[in-house]
Structure 1
Amino acid sequence: MQASRIIALLSASALLLTGAFTGAAGTAGAVQPTPAAAASCPPDASTPLRQFRASWVSSVVNIDWPSKIGLTPDQQKAELIGWFEDAVRQHHNAVILQIRPTADAFWPSKVEPWSQYLTGTQGGNPGYDPLAFAVAEAHKRNLELHGWFNPYRLSMGTNLNALIPTHPARLHPDWVVTYGGKLYYNPGIPAARKLVEDAIMDAVANYDLDGVHFDDYFYPYPVAGQVFDDAATYAQYGAGFPTVAEWRRNNINLLIQEIQQRIKAIKPWVKFGISPFAVWRNKATDPLGSDTTAGVQTYDDLAADTRRWVREEWIDYIVPQVYWAGGFAPADYNKIVPWWAEQVRGTRVHLYIGQATYKVGTSTQSPDWADPAELSDHLAFNTTIPEVKGDIFFSAKDVRADRLGATSLLNSTWYTRPALIPAMPSLDSRAPLPVHALRASRSAAGVKLQWKPTSADSTSYAIYRRDLTGGDWCADNDARNLLTTLRSTSYIDTTAVPGHHYLYSVTALDRASNQSLPIPAIS
């Protein structure tokens, strides 16, 4: 390339990267176009720059991982790597991994026994540390790993004596309630609540988790003809609460507040998110509720005041399980999602949507689930709701099954490019410093980029590429030019076409996904 051409391209790239990228070191640092660039280059809704994308990998009763008991450590590791590789192929950027399904542990916990879903025997040592392995392998692929904990469920059966003798529930049988064919810790007993928190914090303190995640189980779902027997506990601890329902909601509120405070006290960057049943209350019950007629309302039936958790900002993100089709009369996806958008509006809480991949091609609840485009239609609808920042799919095995080709349709329509994790200024709003010493060199393998970090708080890097022969000088306000994100400080672009000249830019990102100014290189 002629020297004059190189100088012209560098000048143009400098204008692009300093003019179109308005975030500066010491600010939030998100990639933002100038008004002129934004007007001429609107972002493509199908390739957003930032979007949370994940699947739930469920361990209870071996739904996803490990797929069955009795696998060797190497087999378990290979399976888990397979789920992470699925995430990478689909341009997901996080995994929600269940590591405490029934008051047990997928790590050598100081509080609770090894999970039976690892070896088939509660307390059985699997021969390695599954959580340490999971964190390392997820981060190697630049996937966030959110540890998924079920707070109060003790056992999928009712035999307390089936738990190992040293289990805290065996030592404190007065903390246990039998209900609906399962065992639960009684949320109304303060010591039981503290033990639940201690179990979770053991993982938070000792592993590099990116998030703590709860699902929809607090007080258990109602079972016809059965009573959750906590009358004596209410009599002992319920002073000041005129009804059992108000006392129960307070018990769960205390859990949410306390675990949030304990997480932030030791690791402020760890996100705390909850994925509740999607109906807080029906509008007929409460004018603030959603336009639904669902048979379960979390406020009334699960003692989970999910709306308050958002409004009080006790959590960092919420993932309502909107497991219904658009147009489904009792609970319409296209009505519930806007309701949740209204709840998070004006708060710092992120809204992601839980998607029912498990219903595709299997559900008789609605004929819409026989349509391979149902989930894709959900994501299309989400693009009209600015507050929606991503989706999580239940569960990993159903995503992989690709029934009716629904997963393939999602991936080819909405996940053609990588995406950055949405920035969370409530955790940290200061961008890392840019990288330095960026070099681009060509070889038979492609274009190799190498750089050095400047900030100690840089945890990952984003690489953008525009083909200078194509005349694309739009700001990177979507992901059309985003090649990849990674945690190393070198990258080989094997897709570079010989004879083409490219403008690369590399940015640094921190734990809260704040992005630095870009540094350019031409090859």
Structure 2
Amino acid sequence: MRKTAMLAAAALLLASCASEPPHSLVTPFPAPTTGAKAQPGSSAKLPVPPASRRDQPPVRGVWLATVSRLDWPPASSVNASSPMLRISQQQQALRDKLDKLQRLGINTLFFQVKPDGTALWQSKILPWSDMLTGRIGQDPGYDPLQFVLDEAHKRGMKVHAWFNPYRVSVNTHAATVAALNRTLSLQPASIFVLHRDWVRIAGDRFVLDPGIPEARDWITSIVAEVVERYPIDGVQFDDYFYSESPGSALNDSQTYRTYGKGFASKADWRRHNTQQLIEQVSRTIHELKPDVEFGVSPAGVWRNRSHDAAGSETRGAAAYDESYADTRRWVQQGLLDYIAPQLYWPFSRSAARYDVLARWWANVVAASGTRLYIGIALYKVGEPSKLEPDWTVQGGVPELKKQLDLNESLPQIQGTILFRENYLNQPQTREAVNYLRSRWGN
């Protein structure tokens, strides 16, 4: 998710909406057992997840990012003088974080297990993450996912395994290419060398082409491996489906020529590809373990009302048009146990008001069995901003309070998730964290 591309996302949010609006494709509201009208290649019948879990306590969650070691593991641990010391430092850092989260009242951890094309569990499909040792494929000497599950569950916290589905690497540097190529002799090797034909460049990163059916099957198999082997409480995909930047668009023209027959536009075909992934992952999880929740944390704007009568009164980058993710449709079709839109703006931000979007999403889930959790911008608290000065007023506490008050006042909103864990430990968020502890803490 995330805000490793924060500046690019901000630029997209403020992009002009003066261009010709796309054709309105207001999604219908089908019965979950029948689904919407099938598009070319789509399944006619969609899976029905378990009954809504509305009797659960509200989620008080936090995202813990491992990509680029943003939250964990400590960068210093990778250079420890021995493997035993590295393991000890990494495990103790996690224990310390979980202790703090427990005191804060956090009951759900969204732990990034697949930050790119590598794994933070002992996978038979992906090589070990270099985030752990500094080298892709090197065994870290323990299983971080199992460790965090054991420690979190001991503290009464649930753990959702957070996947970035399509990212292979965070950059395309020569050193990264060399590191990926060196995995060829490993078991398992990187998808970069096993299926170079699936890999594209977009947003200055190596990514999988979402239009290739075998690539979507491969991602589904990765999720299945974790669901089958680990006692996780949920699976979450972040907002990176089609992830491009203005100067680094995904070149999927050949894939479109191969697989796009029957679609009116490449945009429709791309949305269909994202739909296919969500359908098959949802079905796979619920067939393997019906009690494991499946959720997505998309960009906060589905569509702007200027483009679609069903959209929100906003002027922001829309998941439907930018990431080719029809997130509203997934709720309507019963594909998700929960949705956690990233509403990373204050009440005063006219282009994307927090309260406007929270109420819009509450209306979307109202007639569904999908739970709604709201992702809020802890990373902005205490940061000076000309466009969003509210985050620095009294340490950001009044804005944070307004957002939490609204979440708790709307019965359709059943939780709040903070982005992200390490911002709980920063000087600029101290007042806000103290407020959270007084409101949520044990």
**Within-5 A mapping of 1:188-337:** 188-220=211-243, 222-294=244-316, 296-337=317-358
Structure 1 segments unaligned to the other structure (5+ residues)? 1-26, 32-48, 418-523
Query: 1:107-146 alignment to 2 at 5 Å?
Result: 107-146=121-160
Matched, 1:96 2:84: no
> Counting helix residues as a fraction of each chain, which structure ranks higher?
2
SS in 1 for 2:308: coil
How far apart in 1 are the matches of 2:79 and 2:91?
Answer: 13
8 Å contact from structure 1 (residues 393, 399) kept in 2: no
Deviation string 1:149-199 (CA, Å, 9 cap, x unpaired) is: 000000011154431222122121110011221000001001111111111
Alpha-carbon distance in structure 2 between the residues aligned to 1:381 and 1:287: 25
Matched position secondary structure for 2:409: coil
Q: In structure 1, give the amino acid aligned to 2:207.
A: Y
Alignment of 1:323-472 (within 5 A): 323-364=344-385, 365-371=387-393, 372-373=396-397, 374-401=399-426, 403-412=429-438, 414-416=439-441
What SS is found at the alignment partner of 2:299? coil
Mapped contact 1:324–1:356 kept (Cα < 8 A): yes
Is 1:155 aligned with 2:169?
yes
Aligned mates of 1:259, 1:122 — CA distance in 2: 26
Contact in 2 for aligned 1:324/1:332 (Cα 8 Å):
yes
Q: How far 1:410 sits from its partner (Å)?
A: 2.2
1:70 to 79, 82, 90: 79
Distance across 2 between alignment mates of 1:30 and 1:100:
29
Aligned residue number for residue 47 of structure 2: none
CA 86–223 in structure 1, closer or farther in 2 if over 3 Å, else same: same
Gap change, CA 1:28 and 1:262, over 3 Å in 2: closer
> Residue type matched to 1:64 in 2?
D
- Write the distance in 2 (CA, Å) between the matches of 1:377 and 1:336: 14
Are the counterparts in 2 of residues 150 and 217 from structure 1 also a CA contact under 8 Å? yes
- Percentage identity across aligned positions? 39
Q: Deviations over 1:245-281 (max 9, x none)?
A: 1111111111111011111111110000111110011
CA distance in 2, matches of 1:73, 1:128: 8
Deviations 1:458-482 (A, max 9, x none): xxxxxxxxxxxxxxxxxxxxxxxxx
One-letter amino acid of the structure 1 residue matched with residue 358 of structure 2 = V
Matching residue's letter, 1:379? L
CA contact (8 A) 1:106 1:115 kept: yes
- Is the partner of 1:86 in helix, strand or coil? helix
- C-alpha spacing 1:197/1:70, structure 2 compared with 1 (3 Å): farther
Structure 1 residue 67, shift from structure 2 partner: 2.1
How far is the alpha carbon of 1:29 from its aligned partner?
11
Contact 2:103–2:441 (Cα < 8 Å) also in 1: no
Structure 2 match to 1:179: 202
Shift of 1:28: 10
1:33-52 aligned at under 5 Å gives the runs: 50-52=57-59
Select which of 61, 64, 87 maps to 2:101: 87
Letter in 2 for 1:87: L
| 1:473-512 aligned within 5 A | none
Q: What is the TM-score with the length of structure 1 in the denominator? A: 0.69
Residue 94 of structure 1, CA deviation: 1.0
Q: Equivalent of 2:61, from 23, 29, 54?
A: 54
Cα contact 2:116–2:170 (8 A) shared by 1: yes
Q: By how many angstroms is 1:211 displaced?
A: 0.3
Is the contact between residue 209 and residue 270 of structure 1 (CA under 8 Å) also seen in structure 2? Answer: yes
AA at the equivalent of 1:155: S
Q: Is the Cα–Cα contact under 8 Å of residues 424 and 430 in structure 2 kept in the other structure?
A: no
CA distance change for structure 1 residues 28 and 122 in 2, over 3 Å: closer, same or farther?
A: closer
How big is each residue's C-alpha offset from its partner over 1:416-468, in whole Å with a ceiling of 9 and x where there is no partner? 45xxxxxxxxxxxxxxxxxxxxxxxxxxxxxxxxxxxxxxxxxxxxxxxxxxx
Instruction: Decide which structure has greater strand share.
Output: 1
* Counterpart secondary structure, 2:402: helix
1:110 aligned partner, one-letter code: K
- CA-based RMSD of the aligned residues comes to 1.8
Q: How many residues align?
A: 371
- Return the index of the structure with the highest Cα Rg: 1
